[in-house]
A and B are shown apart, each in its own frame.
Chain A
Amino acid sequence: DAGVTQSPTHLIKTRGQQVTLRCSPKSGHDTVSWYQQALGQGPQFIFQYYEEEERQRGNFPDRFSGHQFPNYSSELNVNALLLGDSALYLCASSFGNTIYFGEGSWLTVV
Protein backbone atom coordinates (compact mmCIF):
# COMPACT_ATOMS: atom_id res chain seq x y z
CA ASP A 1 0.00 0.00 0.00
CA ALA A 2 1.59 3.24 -1.11
CA GLY A 3 1.69 6.07 1.36
CA VAL A 4 1.12 9.70 0.49
CA THR A 5 2.85 10.58 -2.77
CA GLN A 6 3.68 14.08 -3.95
CA SER A 7 4.98 15.48 -7.21
CA PRO A 8 7.19 17.03 -8.29
CA THR A 9 9.81 16.55 -5.59
CA HIS A 10 11.83 19.61 -6.55
CA LEU A 11 11.13 22.56 -8.80
CA ILE A 12 12.43 26.02 -9.54
CA LYS A 13 10.15 28.83 -10.69
CA THR A 14 10.58 32.51 -11.49
CA ARG A 15 8.82 35.30 -9.62
CA GLY A 16 5.37 35.95 -11.05
CA GLN A 17 4.94 32.46 -12.44
CA GLN A 18 2.33 29.94 -11.37
CA VAL A 19 2.92 26.47 -9.94
CA THR A 20 0.80 23.35 -9.42
CA LEU A 21 1.75 20.70 -6.88
CA ARG A 22 0.06 17.32 -6.74
CA CYS A 23 -0.76 14.87 -3.99
CA SER A 24 -2.12 11.34 -3.97
CA PRO A 25 -3.39 10.37 -0.52
CA LYS A 26 -2.93 7.08 1.20
CA SER A 27 -5.48 4.52 0.10
CA GLY A 28 -8.79 4.98 1.92
CA HIS A 29 -7.97 8.47 3.18
CA ASP A 30 -10.65 11.00 2.25
CA THR A 31 -9.16 14.18 3.71
CA VAL A 32 -6.17 16.06 2.32
CA SER A 33 -4.40 18.95 4.01
CA TRP A 34 -1.60 21.13 2.69
CA TYR A 35 1.16 22.74 4.75
CA GLN A 36 3.94 25.18 3.91
CA GLN A 37 7.25 24.79 5.71
CA ALA A 38 9.76 27.60 5.35
CA LEU A 39 13.41 26.88 6.10
CA GLY A 40 14.02 26.50 9.82
CA GLN A 41 10.35 26.71 10.78
CA GLY A 42 7.50 24.37 11.56
CA PRO A 43 4.86 23.58 8.94
CA GLN A 44 2.02 26.09 8.58
CA PHE A 45 -1.50 24.97 7.66
CA ILE A 46 -2.67 26.23 4.25
CA PHE A 47 -6.02 24.49 3.76
CA GLN A 48 -7.86 21.21 3.99
CA TYR A 49 -10.07 19.42 1.48
CA TYR A 50 -12.83 16.92 2.17
CA GLU A 51 -15.43 15.62 -0.29
CA GLU A 52 -13.98 17.87 -3.00
CA GLU A 53 -14.64 21.02 -0.98
CA GLU A 54 -12.27 23.32 0.88
CA ARG A 55 -13.32 22.66 4.47
CA GLN A 56 -11.05 25.11 6.24
CA ARG A 57 -8.26 27.50 5.45
CA GLY A 58 -5.27 28.94 7.23
CA ASN A 59 -3.89 32.45 7.01
CA PHE A 60 -2.76 32.37 3.38
CA PRO A 61 -3.68 34.77 0.58
CA ASP A 62 -6.03 33.92 -2.27
CA ARG A 63 -3.00 33.29 -4.49
CA PHE A 64 -3.02 29.89 -2.86
CA SER A 65 -5.83 27.72 -4.14
CA GLY A 66 -6.53 24.04 -4.35
CA HIS A 67 -8.69 21.30 -5.63
CA GLN A 68 -9.67 17.78 -4.63
CA PHE A 69 -10.74 15.21 -7.19
CA PRO A 70 -13.29 12.40 -6.80
CA ASN A 71 -10.48 9.91 -6.17
CA TYR A 72 -9.39 12.14 -3.21
CA SER A 73 -6.16 13.28 -4.89
CA SER A 74 -5.46 16.96 -4.60
CA GLU A 75 -3.64 19.88 -6.21
CA LEU A 76 -2.19 23.02 -4.69
CA ASN A 77 -1.90 26.02 -7.01
CA VAL A 78 0.07 29.14 -6.25
CA ASN A 79 -0.25 32.15 -8.56
CA ALA A 80 1.99 35.19 -8.92
CA LEU A 81 4.87 33.54 -7.10
CA LEU A 82 6.92 35.59 -4.67
CA LEU A 83 10.42 34.90 -3.40
CA GLY A 84 8.85 34.26 0.01
CA ASP A 85 6.88 31.34 -1.38
CA SER A 86 10.09 29.33 -1.48
CA ALA A 87 9.45 26.46 0.92
CA LEU A 88 8.75 22.78 1.37
CA TYR A 89 5.10 22.06 0.63
CA LEU A 90 3.74 19.09 2.50
CA CYS A 91 0.60 17.14 1.79
CA ALA A 92 -1.06 15.13 4.53
CA SER A 93 -3.86 12.65 4.16
CA SER A 94 -6.02 11.51 7.00
CA PHE A 95 -8.91 9.29 7.88
CA GLY A 96 -10.35 9.80 11.30
CA ASN A 97 -7.54 10.20 13.79
CA THR A 98 -4.77 8.88 11.52
CA ILE A 99 -2.60 11.25 9.53
CA TYR A 100 0.27 10.58 7.13
CA PHE A 101 2.56 13.09 5.44
CA GLY A 102 4.18 12.86 2.05
CA GLU A 103 7.84 13.63 1.43
CA GLY A 104 6.95 17.07 0.16
CA SER A 105 7.67 19.27 -2.84
CA TRP A 106 10.63 21.62 -2.53
CA LEU A 107 9.80 24.88 -4.33
CA THR A 108 12.44 27.49 -5.02
CA VAL A 109 11.36 30.85 -6.44
CA VAL A 110 14.11 32.90 -8.09
Chain B
Amino acid sequence: GIQVEQSPPDLILQEGANSTLRCNFSDSVNNLQWFHQNPWGQLINLFYIPSGTKQNGRLSATTVATERYSLLYISSSQTTDSGVYFCAVEVDSWGKLQFGAGTQVVVTP
Protein backbone atom coordinates (compact mmCIF):
# COMPACT_ATOMS: atom_id res chain seq x y z
CA GLY B 1 0.00 0.00 0.00
CA ILE B 2 0.89 3.66 -0.19
CA GLN B 3 3.26 4.90 2.50
CA VAL B 4 2.69 8.35 3.99
CA GLU B 5 5.49 9.89 6.03
CA GLN B 6 5.25 13.13 7.98
CA SER B 7 8.00 15.22 9.44
CA PRO B 8 8.90 16.40 11.94
CA PRO B 9 7.05 14.17 14.44
CA ASP B 10 7.04 16.93 17.04
CA LEU B 11 7.34 20.70 16.86
CA ILE B 12 7.48 23.27 19.64
CA LEU B 13 6.93 26.87 18.59
CA GLN B 14 6.82 30.17 20.33
CA GLU B 15 3.74 32.22 19.59
CA GLY B 16 4.30 34.30 16.46
CA ALA B 17 6.77 31.91 14.85
CA ASN B 18 6.39 30.36 11.41
CA SER B 19 6.75 26.67 10.62
CA THR B 20 6.64 24.13 7.81
CA LEU B 21 5.28 20.60 8.06
CA ARG B 22 6.11 18.04 5.39
CA CYS B 23 4.27 15.02 3.99
CA ASN B 24 5.89 12.53 1.61
CA PHE B 25 3.90 9.81 -0.14
CA SER B 26 5.17 6.80 -2.03
CA ASP B 27 2.85 6.64 -5.05
CA SER B 28 0.48 8.76 -7.11
CA VAL B 29 -2.78 9.58 -5.36
CA ASN B 30 -6.23 10.91 -6.23
CA ASN B 31 -6.17 13.64 -3.65
CA LEU B 32 -4.36 14.80 -0.56
CA GLN B 33 -5.85 16.38 2.53
CA TRP B 34 -4.47 18.10 5.59
CA PHE B 35 -6.31 17.76 8.90
CA HIS B 36 -5.96 19.31 12.34
CA GLN B 37 -6.95 17.12 15.30
CA ASN B 38 -8.00 19.00 18.41
CA PRO B 39 -7.38 17.69 21.94
CA TRP B 40 -10.87 16.19 22.02
CA GLY B 41 -10.11 14.01 19.00
CA GLN B 42 -12.06 15.68 16.24
CA LEU B 43 -10.41 15.89 12.84
CA ILE B 44 -11.03 19.11 10.99
CA ASN B 45 -10.23 19.31 7.31
CA LEU B 46 -7.87 22.16 6.50
CA PHE B 47 -7.18 21.64 2.80
CA TYR B 48 -8.08 19.42 -0.13
CA ILE B 49 -4.99 19.87 -2.26
CA PRO B 50 -4.11 17.28 -4.92
CA SER B 51 -1.72 19.78 -6.51
CA GLY B 52 -0.79 23.44 -6.44
CA THR B 53 -1.05 25.94 -3.61
CA LYS B 54 -3.96 27.05 -1.43
CA GLN B 55 -4.20 29.57 1.37
CA ASN B 56 -6.65 29.94 4.22
CA GLY B 57 -5.80 32.75 6.59
CA ARG B 58 -2.50 32.04 8.32
CA LEU B 59 -2.35 28.55 6.86
CA SER B 60 -1.27 27.59 3.39
CA ALA B 61 -0.45 24.33 1.66
CA THR B 62 1.46 23.27 -1.41
CA THR B 63 1.41 19.87 -3.09
CA VAL B 64 3.90 18.86 -5.76
CA ALA B 65 2.25 15.69 -7.03
CA THR B 66 5.01 14.85 -9.53
CA GLU B 67 7.53 14.77 -6.67
CA ARG B 68 5.09 13.17 -4.19
CA TYR B 69 5.21 15.62 -1.35
CA SER B 70 3.08 18.27 0.28
CA LEU B 71 3.92 21.11 2.67
CA LEU B 72 1.75 22.83 5.24
CA TYR B 73 2.83 26.31 6.33
CA ILE B 74 1.74 27.90 9.59
CA SER B 75 2.52 31.58 9.83
CA SER B 76 2.37 33.79 12.93
CA SER B 77 1.46 30.77 15.04
CA GLN B 78 -1.05 31.09 17.88
CA THR B 79 -1.67 28.86 20.88
CA THR B 80 -4.90 27.71 19.24
CA ASP B 81 -2.80 26.15 16.47
CA SER B 82 -1.64 23.49 18.93
CA GLY B 83 -2.69 19.94 18.17
CA VAL B 84 -1.81 17.17 15.78
CA TYR B 85 -1.62 17.81 12.06
CA PHE B 86 -2.27 14.88 9.75
CA CYS B 87 -1.66 14.44 6.09
CA ALA B 88 -3.94 11.89 4.40
CA VAL B 89 -3.96 10.66 0.84
CA GLU B 90 -6.95 9.31 -1.02
CA VAL B 91 -5.90 5.93 -2.34
CA ASP B 92 -8.98 5.18 -4.46
CA SER B 93 -11.97 6.85 -6.10
CA TRP B 94 -14.19 6.02 -3.13
CA GLY B 95 -12.28 8.29 -0.80
CA LYS B 96 -10.44 5.77 1.35
CA LEU B 97 -7.81 7.71 3.30
CA GLN B 98 -4.32 6.60 4.22
CA PHE B 99 -3.01 8.78 7.05
CA GLY B 100 0.49 9.65 8.10
CA ALA B 101 1.56 9.41 11.74
CA GLY B 102 1.04 13.12 12.27
CA THR B 103 3.04 16.08 13.55
CA GLN B 104 2.37 17.12 17.15
CA VAL B 105 2.54 20.92 17.33
CA VAL B 106 2.75 22.81 20.60
CA VAL B 107 2.63 26.60 20.49
CA THR B 108 3.75 28.28 23.70
CA PRO B 109 2.78 31.80 24.77
Total interface residues in chain B, CB < 8 Å: 23
Q: How far is the CA of A50 from the CA of B92 in the complex (A)?
A: 15
| Contact status of A100 and B45, CB under 8 A, knowing A41-B101, A42-B101, A42-B102 | yes
Q: Are A101 and B42 in contact (CB under 8 A)?
A: yes
Q: How far is the CA of A97 from the CA of B94 in the complex (A)?
A: 9
Q: How far is the CA of A97 from the CA of B108 in the complex (A)?
A: 35
Q: Which of B45, B48, B94, B99 contacts A43 (CB 8 A)?
A: B99
Proximity string of chain B (87-101) to chain A, C-beta cutoff 8 Å, 1 when within and 0 when not: 010001011111111
Interface of B is mostly: strand
Q: Which of A42, A56, A100 contacts B99 (CB 8 A)?
A: A42
Interface range, A side: 20 to 34
- What A residues does B35 contact at CB under 8 A? 101
Proximity string of chain B (7-51) to chain A, C-beta cutoff 8 Å, 1 when within and 0 when not: 000000000000000000000000101010000111111001000
Tell me whether B69 is interfacial, beta carbon within 8 Å: no
Q: How far is the CA of A25 from the CA of B99 in the complex (A)?
A: 21
Interface of A is mostly: strand
Q: Are B41 and A33 in contact (CB under 8 A)?
A: no
Q: Are A102 and B94 in contact (CB under 8 A)?
A: no
Q: Please provide the chain A residues from 59 to 107 with a CB less than 8 Å away from any CB of chain B in the complex.
A: 88, 90, 92, 94, 97, 99-104, 106
A interface with B by C-beta (< 8 Å)? 31, 33, 35, 37, 40-45, 48, 50, 55-56, 58, 88, 90, 92, 94, 97, 99-104, 106
Q: List 28 A-B contacts (CB under 8 A).
A: A33-B96, A37-B41, A40-B101, A41-B102, A42-B99, A43-B43, A43-B86, A44-B99, A45-B97, A45-B98, A48-B96, A55-B94, A56-B96, A90-B43, A92-B43, A94-B95, A97-B48, A97-B95, A99-B95, A100-B45, A101-B35, A101-B42, A101-B43, A101-B44, A103-B40, A103-B42, A104-B41, A104-B42
